[in-house]
């Protein structure tokens, strides 16, 4: 069970890392030398490879290892970042994602033939970036004119040449132990080139005191070797390590590599020594020796007075101070990352949905308790239920907030879509995102992805012109697709726009006339004409392509949006561009509603849409009895009698009220018998049987156990406006 949970965590983290990897790769197209983006891509691949190895996912590990090698060359400046490499790495990212999804589907043992063939093809392409790139040349060191030029620098210094500098002091007993010091130096020469050696006889005693079996010599060596790291050099002196003092300083250029490597390490190591060993600037033996010295000093002077490990390493001369500073900076970032991780907790979506359902039932039970308190007229009970209702409301808001996510994550996925589709169309198109921090219910986010995909692709194919056409019209050659989101009147508005050629009203009208969607005698507003593109099978494309022309897509957009209790509208100006505006409810679970009574029935509208309530006197009732509008402070307000709209046969009340609602800048009135006040409505779906019921978007349960219908305010407003338009036209 624990293994399954760990695997699920791996899958979720891999998906997040792949999304971050894609975002960074797309960012490299505009900034190919961005080290932060390159390091982020490397870290993502490195983490996926390491985590995959824990679960024995050899396919993921093997493929990602090759990708990591190429990325390592990119980090080292040995492979240039260009469009071809970015496209290849994007394909590799997609392939890793496919392997991850196959693991999620339970087929981790062996990928299918198509996936396997894709992997082989990508590996062959990656070989060119592995074998076809020359090693970065080492900086040649000038021959020193004076011995002082090669003397070991003081602790904390750096080697300015392109050579390794090895400071070697043999112990006096090395000869007695059967070791030949010169043999080790000759062996070092087999690994590369010893460019300079200085023999230091400073430990030589006076002649009478010399012991012919003792060694008193030391050496300062400049060494140049391809593909040689610090551990390999230390390995040369493995058998004499206990009989010598060895200090190895890397070339100045290698120090820069170490600093970059430290910056690119995954933020799961927070120990200074581990960071330095991981990057290769410190060997395990050097770390053990420094830790032993630190432990000795702690025993002698106490825990607080003992020097820090970094100070010991610098004092011993085994690590330059620049690397210690870089490791300390990385250590700080790692600690912050750990603290941030501790603030977050992953939870399964179905558990969160269950919590929301329980909160909904608690809201209903709280309403029943409040109703009971009112009937009994017990002040103490009424006060207790009021407190309970307030707490339930706070719990409801907190629970719903858990499901709120920023829409920016959904928007960012379209960077890849715009890039790929623009290349397919042969157009230069960019994506502009605003309002990414706008939050909405996670269930809404999941269901809005497909409609947005249709709209973005449609804008790129139909909306934005070719570069030469744009330049003739005085526009920049590069087109832009805009994604924007913001809150308005208790709803979230998502806009998909472009700066293309706009919609051709006459062409749409003619096509709709040809298909029999309208008649030639009809008078339609621009908004109504543009709305015809959402009809099934409607298309003005002159040719069928992979992207459009079959009349499938825009009707799906409207159907999916309406299924979310939302609306879609179009604003367009020919030659300037088109904007599709989607309005959606903030949540699909629980809303603050306004309860109204009509006869024996109860209705609810979202409280955010209610502007005001007007009580009608007897004279006003007679005045508007035969009309469908009222004069509201000098403006015409169309209204709908809910009694007539839903054929309510219950007894009419002695009074009538108009509830003024507003949506998308339009106002209308709802004539009801009774105003019953605010109400927390737990939205329940109506079911397939009532799927085509106009004007109703859902239901809720009252405290009395009765069912109240939730009104579809946008549909009712549109009906009222249409009625008024027809009356004025007749």
Query: What does the pLDDT look like over 44-92, one tens digit per residue?
Result: 888 888 778 767 788 888 899 889 888 888 887 888 888 889 989 999 9
Specify the higher pLDDT residue, 90 or 300. Answer: 90
Helix or strand run (H / E) with residue 667: strand 666-672
**Confidence at residue 253, expressed as pLDDT on a 0 to 100 scale:** 47
Closest CA to 497 of 581, 409, 423: 581
**Confidence at residue 485, expressed as pLDDT on a 0 to 100 scale:** 93
Mean pLDDT of the 146-167 span? 48
Confidence of residue 9 (pLDDT cuts 50, 70, 90): confident
**Confidence at residue 547, expressed as pLDDT on a 0 to 100 scale:** 53
User: Percent of the chain having pLDDT more than 70?
Assistant: 80
Least confident of 140-149, 253-262, 307-316: 140-149
* Helix residue ranges, H only, 192-244: 230-236
Tell me: pLDDT of 149 over 60: no
Return the HEC string of 568-609.
EEEEEECCCEEEEEEEEECCCCEEEEEEEEECCEEEEEEHHH
**Confidence at residue 275, expressed as pLDDT on a 0 to 100 scale:** 58
Q: Judge contact between 81 and 35, C-beta under 8 A.
A: no
**Confidence at residue 338, expressed as pLDDT on a 0 to 100 scale:** 54
Residue for token pair 């005045």: 623
Specify the higher pLDDT residue, 728 or 461. Answer: 461
Q: Judge contact between 57 and 111, C-beta under 8 A.
A: no
Query: What does the pLDDT look like over 235-288, one tens digit per residue?
Result: 888 778 778 888 777 775 455 555 555 555 554 455 666 656 665 566 767 767
Helix or strand run (H / E) with residue 479: strand 479-488
- In angstroms, the CA 99 to CA 63 distance is 10
Query: What does the pLDDT look like over 596-608, one tens digit per residue?
Result: 999 888 999 988 8
Question: Mean pLDDT of all residues in the chain?
Answer: 79
- In angstroms, the CA 102 to CA 97 distance is 9
Helix or strand run (H / E) with residue 394: helix 379-402
Confidence of residue 131 (pLDDT cuts 50, 70, 90): low
Least confident of 100-114, 468-482, 601-615: 100-114
Tell me: pLDDT of 483 over 90: yes
Q: Which two tokens stand for residue 241?
A: 């390590």
Strands 479-488 and 429-434: parallel
**Confidence at residue 136, expressed as pLDDT on a 0 to 100 scale:** 35
Domains of the chain and CATH, by start:
2-131 (1.20.120.160), 147-341 (no CATH), 349-403 (1.10.287), 406-585 (3.30.565.10), 590-729 (2.30.30.40)
Q: Judge contact between 183 and 215, C-beta under 8 A.
A: no
Which residues is 668 bridged to in the sheet?
Answer: 661
Tell me: pLDDT of 93 over 90: yes
- In angstroms, the CA 47 to CA 578 distance is 42
Mean pLDDT of the 225-243 span? 79
Tell me: pLDDT of 94 over 80: yes
**Confidence at residue 548, expressed as pLDDT on a 0 to 100 scale:** 53
Tell me: pLDDT of 29 over 80: yes
Strands 590-598 and 610-616: unpaired
Q: Residues of 301-312 as b/e, b for ≥16 C-beta within 10 angstroms? A: eeeeebeebbeb
Tell me: pLDDT of 336 over 50: yes
Confidence of residue 107 (pLDDT cuts 50, 70, 90): low
How many other C-beta atoms are found inside a 10 Å radius of the C-beta of residue 296? Answer: 11
How many other C-beta atoms are found inside a 10 Å radius of the C-beta of residue 144? Answer: 15
Tell me: pLDDT of 147 over 50: no
Return the HEC string of 23-42.
HHHHHHHHCCCCHHHHHHHH
**Confidence at residue 646, expressed as pLDDT on a 0 to 100 scale:** 86
Confidence of residue 140 (pLDDT cuts 50, 70, 90): very low
- In angstroms, the CA 525 to CA 523 distance is 7
**Confidence at residue 337, expressed as pLDDT on a 0 to 100 scale:** 55
Query: What does the pLDDT look like over 211-223, one tens digit per residue?
Result: 888 888 888 888 8
Tell me: pLDDT of 562 over 50: yes
**Confidence at residue 362, expressed as pLDDT on a 0 to 100 scale:** 87
Specify the higher pLDDT residue, 109 or 557. Answer: 557
User: Helices 35-54 and 2-30 meet at what angle, rounded to 10?
Assistant: 160
For the CA atoms of 224, 228, 231, 232, the dihedral, rounded to the nearest 10 degrees, stands at -90
Q: Judge contact between 215 and 170, C-beta under 8 A.
A: yes
* Helix residue ranges, H only, 146-264: 181-191, 230-236, 252-264
- In angstroms, the CA 423 to CA 414 distance is 14
Task: Tell the burial category of 38 from Cβ atoms under 10 Å away from its Cβ (0-12, 13-18, 19+).
Answer: buried
Tell me: pLDDT of 511 over 80: yes
Least confident of 124-133, 172-181, 222-231, 471-480: 124-133
Mean pLDDT of the 641-659 span? 83
Q: Judge contact between 200 and 220, C-beta under 8 A.
A: yes
For the CA atoms of 127, 128, 132, 134, the dihedral, rounded to the nearest 10 degrees, stands at -80
Mean pLDDT of the 330-340 span? 57
DSSP code for 372 = H
Tell me: pLDDT of 112 over 60: yes
Tell me: pLDDT of 148 over 60: no
Query: What does the pLDDT look like over 362-407, one tens digit per residue?
Result: 888 888 888 888 888 888 888 888 898 888 888 888 888 888 888 9
Specify the higher pLDDT residue, 343 or 62. Answer: 62
Least confident of 389-398, 513-522, 609-618: 513-522
- In angstroms, the CA 620 to CA 637 distance is 14
**Confidence at residue 480, expressed as pLDDT on a 0 to 100 scale:** 93
**Confidence at residue 497, expressed as pLDDT on a 0 to 100 scale:** 93
Closest CA to 597 of 687, 702, 697, 698: 702
Query: What does the pLDDT look like over 686-720, one tens digit per residue?
Result: 777 776 677 888 888 887 888 899 888 888 887 77
CA distances from 483 to 293, 449, 456, 498, 558 (A): 60, 12, 9, 9, 18
Helices (H) and strands (E) in the chain, counts: 24, 21
Q: Judge contact between 108 and 102, C-beta under 8 A.
A: yes
Least confident of 290-294, 375-379, 583-587: 290-294
Least confident of 96-100, 486-490, 639-643: 486-490
Return the HEC string of 411-475.
HHCHHHHHHHHHHHHCCCEEEEEECCCCEEEHHHHHHHHHHHHHHHHHHHHHHCCCHHHHHHCCC
Mean pLDDT of the 532-550 span? 62
- In angstroms, the CA 187 to CA 214 distance is 22
**Confidence at residue 113, expressed as pLDDT on a 0 to 100 scale:** 81
> Helix (H, G, I), strand (E, B), or coil: what is residue 54?
helix
User: Percent of the chain having pLDDT more than 90?
Assistant: 10
DSSP code for 139 = P
- In angstroms, the CA 71 to CA 578 distance is 41
Closest CA to 233 of 271, 196, 286: 286
Confidence of residue 489 (pLDDT cuts 50, 70, 90): low
Q: Which two tokens stand for residue 678?
A: 């605010």
Mean pLDDT of the 294-304 span? 69
């Amino acid at each position: 069970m624990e293994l399954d949970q760990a695997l699920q965590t791996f899958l979720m983290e891999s998906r997040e890392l792949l999304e971050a990897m894609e975002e960074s790769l797309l960012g490299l197209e505009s900034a190919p030398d961005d080290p932060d983006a390159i390091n982020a891509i490397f870290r993502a691949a490195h983490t996926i490879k390491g985590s995959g190895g824990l679960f024995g996912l050899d396919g993921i590990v093997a493929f990602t290892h090759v990708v990591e090698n190429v990325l390592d060359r990119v980090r080292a400046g040995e492979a240039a970042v260009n469009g071809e490499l970015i496209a290849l790495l994007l394909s590799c990212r997609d392939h890793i994602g496919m392997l991850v999804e196959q693991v999620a589907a339970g087929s981790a043992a062996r990928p299918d033939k198509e996936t396997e063939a894709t992997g082989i093809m990508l590996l062959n392409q990656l070989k060119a970036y592995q074998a076809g790139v020359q090693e970065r040349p080492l900086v040649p060191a000038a021959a020193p004119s004076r011995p002082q030029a090669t003397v070991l620098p003081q602790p904390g210094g750096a080697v300015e040449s392109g050579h390794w500098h090895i400071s070697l002091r043999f112990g006096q007993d090395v000869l007695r132990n059967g070791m030949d010091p010169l043999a080790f130096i000759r062996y070092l020469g087999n690994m590369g080139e010893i460019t300079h050696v200085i023999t230091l006889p400073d430990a030589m005693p006076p002649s009478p005191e010399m012991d012919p079996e003792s060694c008193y010599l030391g050496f300062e060596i400049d060494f140049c070797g391809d593909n040689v790291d610090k551990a390999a050099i230390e390995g040369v002196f493995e058998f004499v390590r206990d009989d010598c003092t060895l200090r190895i300083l890397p070339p100045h250029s290698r120090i820069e590599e170490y600093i970059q490597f430290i910056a690119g390490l995954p933020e799961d190591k927070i120990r200074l020594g581990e960071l330095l060993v991981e990057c290769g600037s410190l060997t395990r033996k050097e770390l053990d020796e420094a830790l032993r010295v630190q432990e000795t000093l702690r025993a002698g002077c106490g825990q607080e007075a003992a020097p820090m490990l970094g100070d010991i390493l610098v004092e011993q001369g085994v690590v330059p101070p620049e690397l210690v500073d870089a490791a300390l900076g990385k250590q700080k970032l790692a600690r912050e990352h750990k603290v941030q991780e501790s603030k977050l907790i992953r939870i399964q979506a179905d558990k969160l949905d269950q919590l929301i359902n329980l909160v909904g039932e608690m809201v209903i039970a709280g309403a029943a308790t409040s109703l009971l308190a009112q009937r009994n007229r017990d002040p103490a009970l009424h006060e207790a239920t009021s407190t309970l209702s307030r707490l339930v409301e706070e719990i409801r808001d907190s629970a719903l907030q858990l499901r709120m996510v920023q829409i920016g994550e959904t928007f960012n996925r379209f960077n890849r879509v715009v890039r790929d589709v623009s290349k397919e169309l042969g157009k230069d198109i960019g994506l502009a995102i605003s309002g990414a921090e706008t939050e909405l219910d996670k269930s809404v986010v999941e269901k809005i992805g497909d409609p947005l995909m249709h709209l973005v692709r449609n804008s790129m194919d139909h909306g934005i012109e070719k570069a030469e056409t744009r330049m003739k019209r005085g526009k920049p050659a590069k087109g832009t697709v805009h994604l924007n989101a913001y809150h308005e009147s208790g709803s979230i508005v998502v806009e998909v726009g472009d700066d293309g050629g706009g919609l051709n009203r006459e062409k749409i009208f003619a096509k709709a006339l040809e298909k029999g969607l309208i008649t030639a005698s009809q008078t339609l507003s621009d908004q109504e004409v543009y709305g015809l593109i959402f009809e099934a099978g409607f298309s003005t494309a002159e040719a069928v392509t992979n992207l459009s022309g079959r009349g499938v897509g825009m009707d799906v957009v409207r159907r999916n949006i309406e299924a979310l209790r939302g609306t879609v509208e179009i604003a367009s100006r020919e030659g300037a561009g088109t904007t599709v505006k989607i309005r959606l409810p903030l949540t699909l679970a629980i809303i603050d509603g306004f309860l109204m009574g009509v006869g024996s029935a109860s209705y609810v509208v979202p409280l955010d849409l209610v502007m005001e309530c007007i009580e009608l006197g007897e004279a006003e009732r007679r005045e508007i009895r035969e009309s469908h509008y009222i004069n509201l402070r000098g403006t015409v307000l169309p209204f709908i009698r809910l009694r007539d709209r839903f054929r309510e046969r219950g007894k009419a009340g002695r009074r009538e009220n108009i509830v003024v609602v507003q949506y998308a800048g339009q106002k209308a009135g709802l004539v009801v018998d009774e105003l019953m006040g605010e109400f927390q409505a737990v939205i329940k779906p109506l079911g397939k049987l009532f799927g085509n019921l106009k004007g109703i978007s859902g239901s809720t349960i009252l405290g009395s156990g009765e069912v109240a219908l939730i009104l579809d305010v946008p549909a009712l407003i549109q009906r009222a406006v249409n009625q008024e338009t027809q009356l004025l036209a007749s």
